[in-house]
Structure 1
Amino acid sequence: MGPSKAITKAILVLNSGSSSLKYALYNMASSPACVAKGNVAAIGSSKCSITHTNLQVAQDMNLQGTAVADHKSALKRILELLHLEKEQSDRLYGVGHRVVHGGEHLTRPMVISEQVKKAIEQASPLAPLHNPPNLEGIRVAEELFHCPQVAVFDTAFHSSIPSYAYMYAVPYAVYKELGVRRYGFHGTSYQFLLDQAAMYLGQAKEEVNVIACHLGAGASMAAIQNGKCIDTTMGVTPLEGLVMATRCGDIDPAICNILASQRNLDADQINHLLNKESGLQGICGEKDMKGILEASEAGSQIHKLALDVYIHRIRKYLGAYFFHLQGNVDALIFSGGVGESSAKIRDMICAKLGAFGINIDDAKNHENKTTMRDIQKFDSKVKILVIPTDEELCIAEQTLGVLEEQKILQ
């Protein structure tokens, strides 16, 4: 029996990349539950593979060398795996699409229309590697489904950032003509973390003040005051801010001129170097945090340097955001692959911050748990929370919320 058979309110979440299509099917009838999820990778190549997990029966499937020519073929294959082909696709209540960049005008989840698609296309120069394939996924889904579809934007959560925090000190015409300003990313993750933190703290979202750290291969932080983002580390692109696995984060922009003049690199080569060859990888030659920690503890000075630079940047923003919130911080949140799994990283970030009301409990921090939990000492003024993020579930919830609000569902 296919996973769709038992679902009464189904939301399909799609994340379309340039050569991939990630998906998750949710039953939103009562308590939201993921029914199945997977990924079609290397679309259009001989190395195409499909991973599919049916969570109802705990069944994993890996298909290698599967011929998938394009995104439309990929989505058709996904529908077969979900048993939603042909008339069964009518069982879907809606489809939620992750869209990386909404620009200045798409600041909340929206039912997809021709106007919305045009706005996504207009924002593509700000995210040339992401928005075009996101849009392709939308167009393919529109061909195959008759249900309402919703776009959920990574940048939307940060649309509450005040102008003095999102403006760059470049000629104002650059902002007006090119849209160059801070937008921020990981928005669906931050929305999920805010919702979870509010429930844990027993407060309304509108009353919650938190500093959230999404630490993975891509990493960012956000300052959230009264349930609204007031600042975040990523900028017009995800390159700005924290040191990441292969991204440099904050640097002196004049480095680009030095690379151009001294290394004879063009704009594309510099962009590749800063996005793909920098960060932790650039300093120590390794991007996996577990390996970096092990090498550092074994005495490697270059791995220790990479780790120290990484931690220093996070603490630098932590201090700034603590001041932005005037010290009124309900919780410090850790999430993302590194934030959720590395007790050592959490310990290094929180070290010697007792004077600011941040006191981590060593025993609780090292507990081998994968659920949401607090890891602060009993006398810590600031709660320290580890919250496993779930961006797909957040997209499903926002999709359903938009459709119910607009009474599109029958």
Structure 2
Amino acid sequence: MADSIVLVLNSGSSSLKFSLFDLGKQQELMNGLADRLGQNDDEAALSWKFEGVKDKQTIAGADQAKALETLLQLLENKGFASRLSAVGHRVVHGGEYFYDSVLVDDLVLDKIKRCNDLAPLHNPANVLGIEQMQKLFPGLPQIAVFDTAFHQTMPKEAYLYALPYELYREHGVRRYGFHGTSHKYVAQQAVKQLGLNPSQHGIVTAHLGNGCSATSVLNGHSIDTTMGMTPLEGLVMGTRSGDLDPSLHQFLAQRLNIGIDEITDMLNKKSGLLGVSELSNDMRSLCDAAEEGNEQAELAVQLFCYRLAKSICALAMPLGKLDALVFTGGIGENAVRVRELTLNNLKILGFELDTEQNGKHGSDNNGVITSDSSTCAVVIATAEEWAIAQDTARLIGE
């Protein structure tokens, strides 16, 4: 692994994120983002950070293909293109086809495309990124790492909906879960940091960002999670509603005289923290506004933490015991008040917050933010791109 350089790509319909890793030195060499793609936008650009210096190149009117070509040229200019060992691609949905990351071939690509209906905003863009990189780097291994794969160990009683069974059998209607790469990574880190038994532990991981989900991890395997067939189910999120009464769709359609597409758009883009607060989907802004006396901002924060605590209690049930609760993601790693409110709602599980350590994000206590006699809660930074790079290296044998 002396010179194992891995490129990690997250290809979206209007953006492209990338990270470049040296696996031998275990360090990130470069990262960046191409955004405003495919919109005939003069502001489309590729920005990156290399050796601590930020830079940017305008690629006016670029689509994803042009952005990837620009990225390739950047890598050539920096001397990395010829040194690449593989490319790791984040793929949102692998359906029931994939239980692990895989080396991409024609059969794998076909199966990913079959999942397009399950993630129509993400999978087609993920596939396009893979196909473009195959053209730009013919013969270079391409690895697909799935958000859903980690959750394929859930038992049927956890992933099935109480619907006519033929909907599952014929159309794949079931709970799949997401954020799997993050949940797997922080659970593994918790085992290492806390000295837990790798083959006998129970952990709840809470990935909290603009999208949020929590997962039960038993002995390294996901056995339940909050997101469902789509990322809309589960916790309150930045702009997503999370769990709600399914009959709400009919009520809103009749009362507001709007269609199913408008309702779905509302639940995904205008709800959650933004919808309740009528102010922002950003937890930092809401906590600041709440401190200044904004009642709806305070309500949004309280609702978020209440629903999170309820879900954590539910996820602890199938574990039999709870060795640790992990906070991760932008909110989980940084929002002191969210962790405080959540743990105060979880005294039934034996949590006792250490206020001083929580204020420091557990930085001088191995991430632990609870008292010694308490059930353990720990803050662990997620590193999804690094996890994808490691999976990529594993599959190419480096």
**What TM-score range do you get, normalising by the shorter chain?**
over 0.9
Cα gap change, 1:26 to 1:153, in 2 (>3 Å): same
State the AA in 2 paired with 1:40: A
Give 1:288's aligned amino acid: D
Matched residue, 1:211 = 204
The one-letter code matched in structure 1 to 2:55 is M
Q: Tell me, which stretches of 5 or more residues in structure 1 are unaligned?
A: 1-5
- Compared with structure 1, are the counterparts of its residues 129 and 7 closer, same or farther at alpha carbon in structure 2 (3 Å cutoff)? farther
* Equivalent residue number for residue 24 of structure 1: 19
Choose from 267, 276, 281 the match for 1:287.
281
Q: Which residue of 1 aligns with 2:222?
A: 229
- Deviation per CA, 1:323-347: give whole Å up to 9, x if none: 2222x11111000111100111101
Q: Which among 29, 32, 35 is matched to residue 38 of structure 1?
A: 32
Provide the C-alpha distance between the structure 1 equivalents of 2:110 and 2:271, rounded to a whole number of angstroms.
34
Cα contact 1:36–1:82 (8 A) shared by 2: no
2:396 counterpart SS class: helix
| Distance across 1 between alignment mates of 2:214 and 2:346 | 18
Conservation of the 8 A alpha-carbon contact between 1:246 and 1:274: yes
Distance in 2 separating the partners of 1:355 and 1:241: 21
Alignment of 1:175-214 (within 5 A): 175-214=168-207
TM-score using structure 1 length: 0.92
Q: Give me the identity figure in percent.
A: 39
> Where does residue 3 of structure 1 map in the other structure?
none
Letter in 2 for 1:223: S
With 296-305 and 123-132 compared, the bigger mean Cα shift is at 296-305
- Aligned twin of 2:303: 309
Query: TM-score, with normalisation over the residues of structure 2?
Result: 0.94
Indicate if the aligned counterparts of 1:213 and 1:335 stay in contact, CA closer than 8 A. Answer: yes
- Alpha-carbon offset, residue 204 of structure 1: 4.6
Report the residue type matching 1:67 in the other structure. Answer: A
Counterpart residue number, 1:298: 292
Give the Cα separation in 2 of the matches to 1:385 and 1:39.
30
Residue 282 (structure 1) shift: 0.8
Q: For 1:105-184, list aligned pairs within 5 A.
A: 105-145=97-137, 146-184=139-177
SS in 1 for 2:230: coil
1:97 matched residue in structure 2: 89
Amino acid in structure 1 at the alignment position of 2:59 = T
In structure 2, distance between residues paired with 1:342 and 1:69: 36
8 Å CA contact 1:90–1:147 kept in 2: the answer is no
Q: Deviations over 1:158-184 (max 9, x none)?
A: 000100000001111111122110000
For 1:217 and 1:370, the matched residues in 2 are separated by: 23
Aligned to 2:72: 79
Alignment-mate amino acid for residue 14 of structure 1: L
Comparing 31-40 with 203-212, which one deviates more in the overlay?
Answer: 203-212
Assess if the C-alpha contact under 8 Å between 2:352 and 2:371 holds in 1.
yes
Is the CA contact (8 Å cut-off) linking 2:213 and 2:234 kept in structure 1? yes
What's the C-alpha RMSD, in Å, of the aligned pairs? 1.9
Does structure 2 conserve the Cα–Cα contact (< 8 Å) formed by 1:68 and 1:74? no
Whether the 8 Å CA contact 2:214–2:226 is kept in 1: the answer is yes
Change (3 A) 1:68 1:77: farther
What's the CA shift string for 1:91-130, capped at 9, x where partnerless?
A: 2111100000000111210000100000000001000000
Seen in structure 2, the aligned counterparts of structure 1 residues 202 and 178 have a Cα distance that, compared at 3 Å, is same
Distance 2:54 2:308 in 1: 37
Are 1:96 and 1:395, in contact at CA under 8 Å, matched by a contact in 2? yes
1:49 corresponds to: 45
Q: Which deviates the most, 241-250 or 299-308? A: 299-308
Which residue of structure 2 aligns with residue 391 of structure 1?
384
